[in-house]
Amino acid sequence: MKYCYGLMLLLMLCTSCISLGETALGGPYYVAQDPAASYKTLYYRGPDGLDFERVPNVRRAGYTAEFIFVESAQGFYLLDRALDQPTDSSDPTVQKALLGPLPAAEFKALLSRLRIPDFAFHYSAL
pLDDT score recorded for residue 2: 53
CA 83 from chain centre, in angstroms, equals 16
Helix (H) or strand (E) holding 11, with range, is helix 2-17
- 31 in Cβ contact with 61 (< 8 Å): yes
List the chain residues with pLDDT less than 50: 4-19
pLDDT score recorded for residue 1: 52
Closest CA to 76 of 103, 52, 49: 103
Q: Per residue in 92-124, pLDDT tens?
A: 999 999 999 999 999 999 999 999 878 889 999
- Count CB neighbours of 65 within 10 A: 8
> What are the residue ranges spanned by the domains of the chain?
21-124
